[in-house]
Chain A
Amino acid sequence: MKEGRSNFRPSFFIPFVQMKVMKVCAAVLWVLAVFNASSQNSTPVQGQLHGNFQVLWQQYNADSIIGAEVPAEKTGMNAFGSFAYTYGNFSAGIRFESYLNAIMGFPGRFRGTGIGSRWAQYKNDLLEITVGNIYEQFGSGMTLRSYWEPNLGIDNALDGIRVIVTPDTGITLKGIYAHQRFDFDSRLINGLGLVRGADAEIFLNDLVPSLRPNKTKITVGGSFVSKFQEGETIDKDTLVLKLPNNVASYAGRIAIISGPVSFSGEYVKKINDPNADNKFIYKEGSGLLLNIGYSVKGFGITLQSKFIDNMAFRSDRDQLLFDVPINYIPSITKQHTYNLASTLYPYATVLNGESGNSLNAFYTVKKETLLGGKYGMNLALNYAAVNNIDTTGLAGNDQVVYGYETNSFAFGKEKFVRDFNVELKKKFSKNVTLLYTYYYMEFNTLVTPVTVDFKGIVFADIHVLEAQVKLNKKMAIRAEAQALFTEQDKKDWGTALFELSVSPHWTFSILDQYNYGNDNAKARVHYLFGTVGYVKGGSRVAIGYGKRREGIFCIGGVCRAVPASNGLELNITSTF
């Protein structure tokens, strides 16, 4: 539905705006090129170019048992080429993108080849001015964060102008005016809304001379972001409501670090913002992130607390999921690394409302102790709990307009996730290291819909044993045995991984995921996938073949559903 709608957006003004930005970029590049060519050997300033190429190609075979489908074109390819050039105080960059056609699992509306990002920048001690596609984060990102995550197909770049002023050491002021990247169809396509933001950050120890030698470091900051999108009226129940043209969000933050102790916090408010995420209610939004840490050599602990209420904030109120988010709400659960723990039941932030706490601890048992042995032993412990928020529903017209009332920052009654895990790592000899990780999860699939087979709370135990064995100076083996036990959803899973590496170039790996506990005998499938990789310097080529499970792929608490696939994969990356 969305794909169709995007084609009919009134975007006639965008090519014109884009051309203007392109002209600016072209002008800056031209100046740079001429300047650079004419000034070689006469000045110590040197130009530098950095960038990369990325190609992901996939071929598809039909496999009805795992649900793998074949698109009409039988293959998919996503490719990127990024270039960033710096000459003295000037820099400029460009990124070419190709979706021929987009790999399955990425938005199918990304099509063709063209320029997906371009920017130019001038910078001196006082000012930094950037035009074009800008990546920026204010504070923890709860008011504004634009970023590029090619593996998830996310690019909410702010396309406009940003000025950063540093009037004095310790003070950073930022201002930004931009549209936001929404789509790609042989060129970058921006969304409808306008984003305007300002941020101030003060590092007190730099600003106040008497605080400079002080061991306690204090940073304070504040940000304000406003989006503009013309709004008419909506019909809700029997009411006709006027949509706000402008929606503001603002936040204050502080970070204190004193020796081993650290504290940071940010509180954000958002005024009425009826949108597709919150089903067009006019309630205000708010969010709180708190973090307390203590850490000395050999030991570290952090406690985090998070409260989010109605904080979806997009530059187009009608969009959902990955499209034009202005802000970023991090997830409080740990980002797991082992396959079964990270892809079957990954938790993602519930933007409409959640309250959570987490604890993280790291400890190293000293060498030459009973438990530590010759090399010491590392322990990591993590617990996260997230529930809904404590609210009371409203009645009558208030319910239609405002939806609900929030009572406190406390947990509501509905459980979203519990995630306890502990990891032990012990080096037994110069060449042998073993790791054991245990996870206990309670995961609400009604809230984070990662599966269609079960609605409710999944209780799962996961055990992972990993062995790393160095065979000689160049060759090493890494093996993982993983087991997930649950009475819900697809029941029990086992995973085995075997990897052989020959430094500095080669890796060979084979992964088998086996849903041996599935009630449906036909679904007890081995998902076998083999990979060969070759690395040289900053370049890597990897070829893989086999079956991939339908699942969830997450980066930084943002997850995308990936369809099942069966076929050949080629992955090339090169940094220069």
Chain B
Amino acid sequence: MKTSGPDFFFAPQLSWYEGCQRPPRILSQQGESRNQNFNTVIIQFLSPMKRYFLFLVIAFSTLAASAQASALPSVQLKDLEGNTVDTKTLSNDGNPIVICFWATWCSPCKRELNAYADLYADWQKETGVKIIAVSVDDQRTVAQVTPYVNSVSWEYEILLDVNKQFQQALGVVNVPHTFLLDGNGNIIWQHNNYQPGDEEELHKELLKLKS
């Protein structure tokens, strides 16, 4: 493969190696030419592909370290009427929001949201919480969302994520997956899967926010 010319991102690689106390001597033994400086030695040591790979890892670690609050990414979803909703703008007047990823074909998801449905009115009174149920039904089953939701009389705000873009933006692997956001829109708690009784956990977290 072609070894490319001077690039702007050698510096972080160097500093990373220095930070790790990796002696340049060992590296230079691997290189073909001895009279090269440390910078080019590393360039030779790592194939171009590996250098980009390494750089990406470093860049992401830097970002991870500097990332602060965990808020919602921006994805355009549709509601049941066809309106477009930007997930970044989801809000509840400073009150908590619960976001549940679910699908019409997912039994534990429906058990979870049906369990919350029995408690929703009480939770709303206590904490002002709003539940947003994000359906990840794809084109095969998305037409069943409205009739199902109406038949079980859920009072939640429903959003459709037909190509799983919001699901992937939040790193959700499988449904059900539930996030709790505080009044400032920061994710403060999450839970994968649902087992009966998990609603108590969520309720506790909601009450913690209130106090």
Interface residues of A (CB under 8 A from B): 15-16, 19, 22-23, 25-27, 29-30, 32-33, 36-37, 40, 46-52, 54, 82-87, 91, 94, 114-115, 118, 123, 135-137, 140-141, 145, 147-148, 172, 187, 203, 205-206, 217-219, 255, 257, 262, 264, 291, 293, 295-302, 304, 328, 330-332, 334-337, 360-364, 378, 380, 468, 470, 473-476, 501-504, 507, 533, 535, 537-540, 556-557, 573, 575-576
Alpha-carbon distance A218/B83, docked complex (angstroms): 10
C-alpha gap A166/B177 in the complex (Å): 31
Complex Cα distance, B54 from A94, in Å, reads 12
Give the distance in Å from the alpha carbon of A257 to the alpha carbon of B82 in the complex: 8
CB A116 to nearest CB in B, in angstroms, measures 12
What B residues does A328 contact at CB under 8 A?
139
Query: What residues on B are CB-neighbors of A380 within 8 Å?
Result: 151
Contact in complex: A378, B171 (CB < 8 Å): no
Tally of contacts, chain A with chain B, CB under 8 A = 257
B66 engages A293 (CB within 8 Å): no
B39 at the interface (CB under 8 A from A): no
Question: In the complex, A40→B63 CA distance in Å?
Answer: 12
Q: Please determine whether B147 and A295 come into contact, CB atoms closer than 8 angstroms.
A: yes
User: In whole angstroms, how far apart are the Cα atoms of A86 and B48 in the complex?
Assistant: 26
By beta carbon, the residue of chain A nearest B163 is A137
Q: Does the CB pair B8–A30 fall under 8 Å?
A: yes
Asked whether any CB of chain A lies closer than 8 Å to the CB of B146, the reply is: yes
A298-B171 in contact (CB<8A): no
Contact A363 B151, CB 8 Å, known A48-B73, A145-B163, A217-B81: yes
Q: CA separation between A84 and B200, bound complex, in Å?
A: 31
CB distance A49 to B190 under 8 Å? no
Chain A residue numbers with a CB within 8 Å of B66 are 33, 36-37, 40, 47
Instruction: Choose one: A30, A299, A501, A533; the contact of B150 (CB below 8 Å).
Output: A299
If A46-B68, A473-B200, A575-B170 touch, whether A83 touches B60 (CB-CB below 8 Å) is yes
**B26 near A: Cβ within 8 Å?**
no
Residues of A within 8 A of B147 (CB): 293, 295, 299-302, 360-362
Task: Select which of A87, A361, A475, A537 is within 8 A of B197 by beta carbon.
Answer: A475
A135 pairs with B168, CB closer than 8 A: yes
Interface centre among B53, B82, B148 (most CB of A within 10 A): B82
- Contact, CB under 8 Å: B59 / A302: no
Tell me whether B81 and A115 are in contact (CB under 8 A). no
**Do residues A82 and B162 form an inter-chain contact, with CB atoms below 8 A?**
no
* A19 and B173 contacting across the interface, CB-CB below 8 Å: no
CB of B56 within 8 Å of the partner chain: yes
Q: Determine if A26 and B56 form an interchain contact, defined as CB atoms under 8 angstroms apart.
A: yes
List B167-194 residues whose CB lies under 8 Å from chain A: 168-174, 177, 189-193
Q: Which 8 A-B pairs have the closest CB atoms?
A: A300-B147, A503-B197, A362-B151, A330-B140, A501-B195, A476-B196, A29-B59, A52-B171
Asked whether, in the complex, the Cβ of B73 is within 8 Å of the Cβ of A29, the reply is no
Complex Cα–Cα for A475 and B4 (A)? 61
Q: How far is the CB of B149 from chain A (nearest CB, A)?
A: 8
A172 CA to B162 CA, complexed, in Å: 17
Nearest CB on B from A295, distance (A)? 4
Q: How far is the CA of A15 from the CA of B70 in the complex (A)?
A: 35
Tell me if B29 counts as interface (CB < 8 A to partner A).
Answer: no
Minimum CB–CB distance for A517 against chain B, Å: 27
Whether A573 pairs with B173 at a CB distance below 8 angstroms is: yes
Interface membership of chain B positions 71-99, coded 1 if the CB is closer than 8 angstroms to chain A and 0 otherwise? 10110100011111000000000000000
Q: Return the contact of A30 from the options B9, B146, B164, B198 (Cβ within 8 A).
A: B9
Contact call B74/A123, Cβ cutoff below 8 A: yes
Chain B nearest CB, measured from A405 CB (Å): 29
- Given A82-B171, A298-B150, A556-B138, A203-B82 contact (CB < 8 Å): yes
Measured between beta carbons, the chain B residues less than 8 angstroms from A474 are 197, 200
Judge whether B172 and A575 touch: CB under 8 Å: yes
Report how far A304 CA is from B147 CA in the complex, Å.
13
Determine if B152 is an interface residue (Cβ-Cβ < 8 Å): yes
Given known pairs A36-B66, A40-B66, the reply for A48 and B191 (CB within 8 Å) is no
Please tell me if the beta carbons of B168 and A219 are within 8 angstroms of each other in the complex. no
A91 and B162 contact, CB distance less than 8 A: no
